[in-house]
Amino acid sequence: MKVLIVGGVAGGASAAARLRRLDENAEIILFERGEHISFANCGLPYYIGDVIAEREKLLVTTPDTMRERFRVDVRTLHEVMSIDPKGHRVRVRNYQDGQEYEETYDKLILSPGANPIKPPLPGIESGRVFTLRSIPDTDAIKGYVTEHRPQRAVVVGGGFIGLEMAENLLQMGMQVDLVELAPQVMTTIDREMAAFVHEHLREKGVNLHLNNGVAGFTEQPDGSILVAVNQGGPLPADLVVLAIGVRPDSRLAREAGLQVSSSGAIVVNRRLQTSHPDIYALGDAIEVEDFVTGRRGPIPLAGPANKQGRIAANNIVGIEEEYQGTQGTAIVKVFDLVVASTGNSERILRSAGVPFESIIIHPGSHAGYYPGALPMTIKLIFAPDTGKILGAQIVGYDGVDKRIDVLATAIRFGGTVFDLQGLELAYAPPFSSAKDPNNMAGYVAGNVINGHMPIAHWGDVESMRNDGAFILDVRDPIETEMGAIDGAVNIPVAELRSRLSEVPKDRPVLVYCAVGLRAYVAVRVLSNHGYTQVKNLSGGFKTYDTITRDLAAVGSGPSPDGSGGGSKETAAALEPLTEVGPSAPAAEQPELVLDACGLQCPGPIMQVFGKMKSMNPGQILRVKATDPGFARDISAWCSRTGNNLLDSGREKDAFYAVVQKGDPGLKAISGSTAKAPAAANEDKTIVVFSGDLDKAIASFIIANGAAAMGRKVTMFFTFWGLNVLRRPENLAIKKPLLDKMFGAMMPRGSSRLQLSKMNMGGIGAKLIRKVMQDKNVDSLEALIGQAKLAGIRLVACQMSMDVMGIRPEELIDGVEIGGVASYLAAAEESNVNLFI
C-alpha cells in the first residue's frame, strides 16, 4: 500500500508514525512545503519571548529521525499543488530544484492545517505587520525584534495566540496595546470569566482596547507604524502582530472537488474520510462534530489533530475507528493567570438552543492552611434537569490544569454534576482539599438542581432590583467597607436568625456574600423560616464586583489619545491614595513585615489593623497575602482609615501591599478619598447578653471590624454572655451550693458554647467550627484574642456575676469588671449600640 501525506506537522507526522507502526511494508511519503516537520507550533510565542532559549528545542522531530526510525520518505520543501482523486495521483512542486512531478497513491491523507486570517485592510502587507503560524514566521518576528528593538507593539486579536504574544512582547520590555473586536478576550469563555482575565491584563500593564477593530496600517518615515482603530486615535507601534484567527487550508481539497463546508473546512465522516473515500483529512483543515452539541464546525487545536492522525492511520490499515468529536479543551497562561475551558460556553449553548444552568465557585487551589494556596474561579455549565455537564471554565493561578482535565474527562464520559460529587481525587494539603474544587462544584450544582439552593446570576441583579427584590448582604461588616451591591442591607449571616424581622417575606430576596458559601447558609436559614423567594447570587460579590468593574472599564472605551482604559487604570491603581508625608524620617522607623498568606478576607485586613496599632505614624508595613482580593481590599481600607497605600501588586506566588501608617495631623491631599480617623462620637458599644456560639462570633466579628476601622469598642457582657468570658478550667472555688449548681450547668468558656439554632446536641457547633476552620475564618477564641489585641474593652457585668455566682478568677485575662455605669458612659460616646 502506498500512502501519501500532505502536511508534516501535528496531524500529518502523527499519522505517518502510526501508519509505520501498524504496517511495516507500506510505502509512506510525507510532503511538507516548509523546511521543518513536526515542530512545536504551540511553543513559538515562548521562543520569541526568549522563554524557550534554543530554536532547536522547537523541532520535536527532524526529517532524519522520521526517515531512520519510521522509514518514512520525508520530502520537505515539497508542496502538493493539486490532487486528481479519480487518477489517484497528486502533482508536487519541489522547491529545491523548482521541478514539478506526479506521485500516485492508494490512500491520501490531507493535514494541511490552517492559515492566519489576513483581512484586506489598507497597509496589511507592511513588513512591520506579522502573523505567527510557522518557524519562518517566528524567525521573521524574532529577527525584526533583534534588529529594530521595537518599543511599542500592537497585538490584534485576544485569542490564545494574541494573549501569549502580548505576554511575551511585554516581558521583553515593550509597551503592548491589545485590540480586540469582541467585548472580551478569549471568546471560548463567558463574559464574567473573561473579566478576571481583563483585570489581570490591565494589572500587568497591557493596554486593552475591547469592542474595537483595526481599520488599517500606515508606515511612518521613522520606521514605526500607525494602527488605525475604529474607536479612538491611531495606535503608534513599531511592531504589529495579527492574531485574529485562522481559516482552514482547504484549497487543495476544494480544487479537487472534495466537499468543503460553508466555513471553508473539509467535510469528513467519523472515520475522517472526505467525500472521496480514499482521501482522508484531519486537523485544523477539517470540520468536526462538537462533542457536546453535535454541531459541526472547525475547532483548530493540537490535541485533536494528533488524535485524528492516529485514527486516520488506523482506518487506512483496516482498524475501524470513529472520531467521537472535539470538545475544545484548551488552556492558556496569561502572565500569572491560567485560563482553561472545556465543552461549551453559555454563548455557544444559547446559540445552539440547548437549555443550561451554571454555577460559579471560588475555591482554593489547596488547603488554605498549607502555604501558597491561591483561589480559582470555576464555572460549571450543566443541563438543568439531568445535571449532565456541558461545559466548564476555570481561571486561577495554580491547579487549574488538573481541575479542567478532570472536568474534560467527566464530559467525555457523559458525566453529571452528581458524578463530580462522588469523584475520589488525590488529596494531601499541598495539593488539594479533602473536598476537591471539582467535588465542590458538583455539590453546589447538585444543590441548584435539587432545589436546595435557588440561584441568581450577576446579570440578574439589576432586573431583580427593579422587580423589588430585597438585596441581603450576609458578609461581615468589615467586608462591606470594601464594596457592596447598591442598595444591599447588611445582616451578617451569624445574626440573620435574630434579625429575620428585617427581611421581608413578601418580596424576592437576593442573598450574597463574598463567594457564595455564607449566602448558601443564609438561603437555607431563610428557606427554613418560610421564605419562598430566596436566591443565592452565584459566585458572590467577588464575581459581581469583578464583572461590573470590568464592564465599566470597557464601557469607558479608549481615551482620545489612543491609550486604553487599561493603562490608565493600572497607573491609577499604583498611585498612592493619599499624600505621602511621614511625620518622622523614614530612616528612624524600621519597616515592618507581615505575612498574612493563607488567610481569607477579612483575615489579612484584621492582621494589618492589629499590626498597625503598635506602629508610629509614617512607619511602613509590608504585607504579603495570598487572597487576590487583598490588593483591592487594602486599598479601600487605607482610604477609609487615613492610612497610605504606597504600592501594591503581585510578586511570585503572593500579593503585596506597602502601607504607611497615617497621621491624624496630616491633611489628605485634595480629591483624595481618604477619611480622617474616627471622631470621638464614633465609638461602638455592644451588649453581649447571649451565650450562644453564633451570637458570640457575630459580636466579636462586628467588634473587631469596628476596631479595624479605628473605632473605640466596648463590649459589655451580661447574664448568659458572661459564659463567653469564662475560663475553660474547673477551678476549685468555694461557693454556696446554688452558685455551684449554676456554674456547673452553664458552659465554661467560649469552647463549650452551643449554637442558638440547629445545635443538634452539639454537632451544629462542631460543624460551624469546622466550616470556619476550612474557610480560614478565625475561631471564636482567635476572635477574642484579636479583640484584646485591638484594645477592645471587655467588660463583665458586676451585677450579673453576683446573680450567677461567677467569681472574677473564673474569667479569662484582660476582662474588666464594671457596672452598668461604665457601660452607659461608653454608650454615650458611641453612635452604634448593639444588644446581642
Residues that bind ligand FAD (CB under 6 A): 6-7, 9-12, 31-34, 41-42, 44-45, 79-80, 111-113, 132-133, 160-161, 249, 252, 283-285, 300-303, 305
Report how far apart, in Å, the C-alpha atoms of 98 and of each of 11, 36, 73, 101, 176 are.
27, 18, 19, 10, 41
Is residue 624 left, alpha or beta, with left meaning phi > 0 and alpha meaning psi from -120 to 50? beta
Cα within 13 Å of Cα(486), Cβ side? 6
* Ordered DSSP codes for 426-462: ---TTT--SS-HHHHHHHHHHHHHTTSS-EE-GGGHH
Least Å from the CB of residue 306 to ligand FAD:
8
Helix axes 400-412, 437-449, angle to 10 degrees: 50
525: which 3 cell numbers?
Answer: 436559614
Say how far apart CA 502 and CA 68 lie, in whole Å.
80
* Of residues 42 and 182, the one with the C-beta less far from ligand FAD: 42
Cα angle value 589/593/598 (rounded, 5°): 160
Say how far apart CA 773 and CA 367 lie, in whole Å.
10
* Of residues 250 and 548, the one with the C-beta less far from ligand FAD: 250
Say how far apart CA 27 and CA 355 lie, in whole Å.
50
Give me the residue label for grid cell 432586573. 463
Closest alpha carbon to 188 in 357, 345, 304: 345
* Of residues 45 and 705, the one with the C-beta less far from ligand FAD: 45
* Of residues 300 and 343, the one with the C-beta less far from ligand FAD: 300
Contacts of 559 (CB under 8 A, 6+ apart): 232, 565, 568
Report how far apart, in Å, the C-alpha atoms of 434 and of each of 392, 431, 774 are.
21, 10, 10
Say how far apart CA 319 and CA 192 lie, in whole Å.
45
803: which 3 cell numbers?
Answer: 446573680
Say how far apart CA 295 and CA 291 lie, in whole Å.
8
Say how far apart CA 646 and CA 666 lie, in whole Å.
16
Say how far apart CA 99 and CA 609 lie, in whole Å.
78
Q: Which is catalytic among the residues 42, 601, 638, 797?
A: 42
* Of residues 129 and 354, the one with the C-beta less far from ligand FAD: 129
Q: How far is CA 482 from the centre of its chain?
A: 19
- Written as one letter, the residue type at 507 is R
Least Å from the CB of residue 12 to ligand FAD:
5
* Of residues 305 and 784, the one with the C-beta less far from ligand FAD: 305
Contacts of 428 (CB under 8 A, 6+ apart): none
Say how far apart CA 565 and CA 211 lie, in whole Å.
12
- Active-site residue flag, 797: no
Closest alpha carbon to 728 in 750, 743, 759: 750
* Of residues 301 and 521, the one with the C-beta less far from ligand FAD: 301
Say how far apart CA 241 and CA 141 lie, in whole Å.
9
Least Å from the CB of residue 286 to ligand FAD:
8
Say how far apart CA 393 and CA 387 lie, in whole Å.
16
Say how far apart CA 191 and CA 459 lie, in whole Å.
10
Least Å from the CB of residue 213 to ligand FAD:
22
Give me the residue label for grid cell 500606515. 218
* Of residues 115 and 776, the one with the C-beta less far from ligand FAD: 115
401: which 3 cell numbers?
Answer: 490544569
Say how far apart CA 754 and CA 760 lie, in whole Å.
9
Contacts of 54 (CB under 8 A, 6+ apart): none
Say how far apart CA 565 and CA 212 lie, in whole Å.
12
Question: Which residue has the CB atom at the shortest distance from ligand FAD?
Answer: 283
674: which 3 cell numbers?
Answer: 481618604
* Of residues 249 and 633, the one with the C-beta less far from ligand FAD: 249
Closest alpha carbon to 645 in 577, 569, 572, 594: 577
* Phi, psi dihedrals of residue 217, rounded to the nearest 5°: -135, 135
User: Based on the number of CB atoms within 10 Å of its own CB, is 64 exposed (0-12), middle (13-18) or buried (19 or more)?
Assistant: exposed
Say how far apart CA 396 and CA 375 lie, in whole Å.
6
* Of residues 9 and 214, the one with the C-beta less far from ligand FAD: 9
Closest alpha carbon to 214 in 294, 155, 168: 155
* 226, 218 Cβ separation under 8 angstroms: yes
* Of residues 133 and 535, the one with the C-beta less far from ligand FAD: 133
Instruction: List residues with catalytic annotation.
Output: 42
